[in-house]
Structure 1
């Protein structure tokens, strides 16, 4: 990339907006009923949350990092077929597109990727999603491809400047079945020499981290059937002058199973890591032959390794440690010093841990009341400046529904969710009518939902739906024992929690029990289909986005990272084959008594299209109401603006058909086969 080709904005500070502390800049909301509202059926309210706003007008923001005074992040653009652009804020405050079109930054290592780029002094390295190549930008010159073999994927880059190389995790698919690529940590020469294998052997490798003096390399590894949130091992080895790896020493993870994440070296060369050995992900420092717990707390300073290069803590110039802490599904910022944890509420809610930048920090702000943004505090105590917003703030405060944490009873203890009431500045429902409910089931299932502002939620609430987003048993953010609730119980505990949340809201009189729907993608799609075929009759409609219908097919067809995931969630095969059949929604169509809509990507490698196709065909054969939409060029999760727009409108119309209202302004109507 040349300097002339970069797209720039105004110098730092000239166009950047200040973020007021939460609530200070909000307009006062008049008591309900004081302002004049029009009456319209719940679900049919005209809304300012349009498909154009959610596609052409919005981007995704994430993977923020910093080096010196420079800040970088990835920007996903639905309007450009989901292309991921690396944005760079220079030390002088100018912001540029570091990877102009057609570059698409992304990695498919473990299919979920992450860690697709890294910054160094005068260097940017990234993985090109379209072909898996590794591209280097040096001193502002155009990107050049490093020599890597075809059939390999790369992620989790770590610069080794003294040796003019970059260290990375490699996933080798050459001559191997798609379900069994080989993992290695390799060194890629910046001078064009062939790559060199540094570490190989385990099923999975991640997080190669070079000590500040370049003499030691730390990394994580794990093997089947464990997932990285079950058990990982932390190793460290000395490097020779040429950079070859010496004898590896096990640092942590050799005893009782513990999930270790984010090894990192402090500026003075002390290895740190997060471990859930106490039941909570907390921070440790390796001093001599012992691990020092830096600040024991019953909260999560860590999380599941779904993608590479997650950041839960970072070292400040003064020796303190800035961390992101999850409590009850909300991630906020704190600072560890002298064994004490000091909350920093002035940061608000965040996507992950802030990255130190000079005397300040950059971060992805993720408040509950406004779209996410890239924010920068020039100093830790200064007001934050907005570098980039994910979407324009077009919603009046009276139309924004903020997720309220709720608890409800289940057979295994309290359940957790966020409740979003229907809300629209200009409309209200008919007197005596209660709103329909959409129950959201997050993916994973070892994942977590939070109440960060989401246009996907506001799409429903601003039209008159109530929404409940459930952190069912098995979710992260509530400690290891809560996460283990799903062991052997996937399709049971998660379903119970979703049904309990819906019943709880109906019992409070907040929603119409005759108009409750459930929706989810991937693992959330499985929970959705399992709930619809549970026989409980709680839900009257459902939407599955690339969801799992047949567990045996999933275990047979899915990629290596998740190929043994079900050993813990269901049981090992072939011993547990009968249990797989029993838990599979496809086995219980006789219990299905409501319409279902399926959305599926044609190129999905995580949950292949045969899952949705088989379920839809079986429903049609039984005369059940079903809609099925297959999207070419889409994988596990939709990226294209046109796909996203169609899914939004088709699902809305689908609920209108099921619940007896007609949504206004649709450009396409759903086609339902079978009984409806």
Structure 2
């Protein structure tokens, strides 16, 4: 007998996607995708987050034949804290003794060496521990078997403040002689630049190139290509700037097999690929186009990789990026066909035919895939770890472009409620939640997201807004947010919300907003400055702009607000006016505030100050804190509690009873500042 849909209140639909399944594929507020892939001989290696294992990041290996398996058992956690957001935290190479792996362990941030194929072998430390501030941290390691060293980015704290830090390219002996001796760590360049990426060595290893930038810029605003001559001792001499800088940032630089440099620069307003003369810095565009061949760089991201035959594997597109092969000689760009339309900037190449990456489709989760470009054969190296989900319960994503009040475009991804066994009451529209992503330098993708499906399969619509400032749509779209954070992002979300009402998809008064980190700021400001939303879920948010601009955050983003809001010394009133902590009296609707106690980016003090100033206001709310969680939740127990609390909030506001979900206690802050009990 064919299943029949039963009329059921929106939000109360029975769904097989429970909180455990929805959060199994999430970490730090994003889809828990594999990352930082590499090719080691015939094998493919990568890291993947494990929310169900205390949120640790596991180094994995996938042989050409046979099952994938972890390289390291628990509790080893392969994750760097350089610039707090980390980067690639592992490297491996094959020698006469088999495979040697080097990795950063999250707990102490030391580099370790490990022989995974030697029975009984244990990881051994390569770097010392420092008790000063955040200690010694490492990212982007590369093994140099000839010199018996591992090279990478060293972040060294010189004091207890978040800005008491220096960064250099350094070399560590593989024999372990530096494990207790800081003086045995060799610095290969000076610390004249505030931020650097890991070095890329020329085929003859006589030159090295890397990216560098300084305060007050972010890398996607001003990263430059640095180049140096490498001596026999490995020291980098005659360091100079080759290309890039403010207004022409570089996303990535790599050496081609012929000794030239390839780089993604944004000089035309789009990150395009160029060949760079390493002697003169002269540039030649390889495929000029109004689309992106790069993106907002953080340590270790790779949008392209040169093959040994001269072709280049590239990711390109507007918004979503897909895999293609570029022939620099002919200018031909040929897309790799297939259903995977979303590729992450984690490309690795080997030889002239192997390309490995992380890709997803509208009904396929992110997977590690290998493409043989000679045959166009695609092999799935590693599938998603969570169980199969009936596609009938997954929403059909729609990439939409809405038009703002002044005629500008606003990009968004629309997800309508979908459940084969339920339909909403006749004549009623579902509640909708507007998601503001946690950028600004991020983008909401159209990949399968079970956290979204958790809501849509219950009868709640979701729309993710790629508000102005989001990369992937050209510099002009990204720079709409310049000095307009808290204005453009809020207006774009409201534009989309109102458009859904105008189209008859949603109803005024049944709209919510939700966001984490920067998106949490957008959600909170939306409650302060608009009357569009009936409630909000605010996760580990920015609430006090002034505190972020005056040293109460980490070094990497300590000057970020210079571009997002304006220099604090020049526009102090702007910081006051746009901070949600300044205007709690304007909030009139319920909200849920979620915070990790160990967050060093958006510290709990902001949330506590916000709630103290809300004292005496008749606004129902809940404040949940989670011990041991940082900026973005990683432990599955935390994420389960958070998403169930969020669903309960919507049920209480929109008038439905979600089956099997504990009721979220809501409180009104009294004049003493007491509020809902924390977890």
Scaled by the length of structure 1, the TM-score of the pair is 0.91
Q: Which of residues 369, 372, 377 is equivalent to 2:366?
A: 372
Residue in structure 2 matched with residue 115 of structure 1 by the alignment: 88
Residue in structure 2 matched with residue 285 of structure 1 by the alignment: 275
Cα distance, 1:415 vs. partner?
A: 0.9
C-alpha distance in structure 1 between counterparts of 2:77 and 2:116, whole Å:
20
C-alpha distance in structure 2 between counterparts of 1:340 and 1:455, whole Å:
37
Question: For 1:191-241, what per-residue CA distance to the aligned partner results, in whole angstroms no more than 9, with x for missing partners?
Answer: 225111112111111131112221111111111111111111211111111
Contact kept, 8 Å, 2:339 with 2:361, in 1: the verdict is: no
Contact kept, 8 Å, 1:559 with 1:605, in 2: the verdict is: yes
Residue in structure 1 matched with residue 335 of structure 2 by the alignment: 343
* SS of structure 2 residue aligned to 1:236: strand
Contact kept, 8 Å, 1:127 with 1:135, in 2: the verdict is: yes
Residue in structure 1 matched with residue 181 of structure 2 by the alignment: none
Say whether 1:210 aligns with 2:201. Answer: yes
Q: Equivalent residues in 2 for 1:6-85 (5 A)?
A: 36-55=4-23, 60-85=33-58
Cα distance, 1:257 vs. partner?
A: 2.5
Contact kept, 8 Å, 1:183 with 1:202, in 2: the verdict is: yes
Cα distance change of structure 1 residues 47 and 89 upon mapping to structure 2, 3 Å threshold: same
Cα distance, 1:485 vs. partner?
A: 0.7
Cα distance, 1:414 vs. partner?
A: 1.1
C-alpha distance in structure 1 between counterparts of 2:376 and 2:639, whole Å:
38
* SS of structure 2 residue aligned to 1:578: helix
Moved more, 406-415 or 602-611: 406-415
Q: Equivalent residues in 2 for 1:431-450 (5 A)?
A: 431-450=426-445
Cα distance change of structure 1 residues 340 and 217 upon mapping to structure 2, 3 Å threshold: same
C-alpha distance in structure 2 between counterparts of 1:299 and 1:393, whole Å:
35
Residue in structure 2 matched with residue 103 of structure 1 by the alignment: 76
* SS of structure 2 residue aligned to 1:417: strand
Cα distance change of structure 1 residues 583 and 119 upon mapping to structure 2, 3 Å threshold: same
Contact kept, 8 Å, 2:619 with 2:668, in 1: the verdict is: yes
* SS of structure 2 residue aligned to 1:73: strand
C-alpha distance in structure 1 between counterparts of 2:364 and 2:67, whole Å:
25
* SS of structure 1 residue aligned to 2:614: helix
Say whether 1:143 aligns with 2:143. Answer: no
Contact kept, 8 Å, 2:33 with 2:367, in 1: the verdict is: no
Residue in structure 2 matched with residue 8 of structure 1 by the alignment: none
Cα distance change of structure 1 residues 517 and 55 upon mapping to structure 2, 3 Å threshold: closer
Return 5+ residue gaps in structure 1 as ranges. 1-33
C-alpha distance in structure 2 between counterparts of 1:229 and 1:539, whole Å:
32
Residue in structure 2 matched with residue 175 of structure 1 by the alignment: 159
Scaled by the length of structure 2, the TM-score of the pair is 0.91
Residue in structure 1 matched with residue 104 of structure 2 by the alignment: 127
Q: Which of residues 215, 220, 232 is equivalent to 2:211?
A: 220
Contact kept, 8 Å, 2:68 with 2:382, in 1: the verdict is: no
Contact kept, 8 Å, 2:593 with 2:624, in 1: the verdict is: yes
C-alpha distance in structure 2 between counterparts of 1:220 and 1:168, whole Å:
13
Residue in structure 1 matched with residue 673 of structure 2 by the alignment: none
Moved more, 413-422 or 113-122: 113-122
Cα distance, 1:93 vs. partner?
A: 4.4
Q: Which of residues 491, 495, 507 is equivalent to 1:496?
A: 491
Residue in structure 2 matched with residue 156 of structure 1 by the alignment: 140
C-alpha distance in structure 1 between counterparts of 2:8 and 2:385, whole Å:
27
Contact kept, 8 Å, 2:585 with 2:614, in 1: the verdict is: no
Q: Equivalent residues in 2 for 1:127-526 (5 A)?
A: 127-138=104-115, 140=117, 141-150=121-130, 151-191=135-175, 192-193=177-178, 194-199=184-189, 200-253=191-244, 257-287=247-277, 288-289=279-280, 290-305=282-297, 307-327=298-318, 329-337=319-327, 338-346=330-338, 348-349=340-341, 350-352=343-345, 354-357=347-350, 359-378=353-372, 380-392=374-386, 394-410=388-404, 411=406, 413-526=408-521
Contact kept, 8 Å, 2:72 with 2:116, in 1: the verdict is: no
Say whether 1:86 aligns with 2:59. Answer: yes
C-alpha distance in structure 2 between counterparts of 1:634 and 1:495, whole Å:
27
Contact kept, 8 Å, 2:528 with 2:586, in 1: the verdict is: yes
Question: For 1:280-307, what per-residue CA distance to the aligned partner results, in whole angstroms no more than 9, with x for missing partners?
Answer: 01111123521121111111111112x3
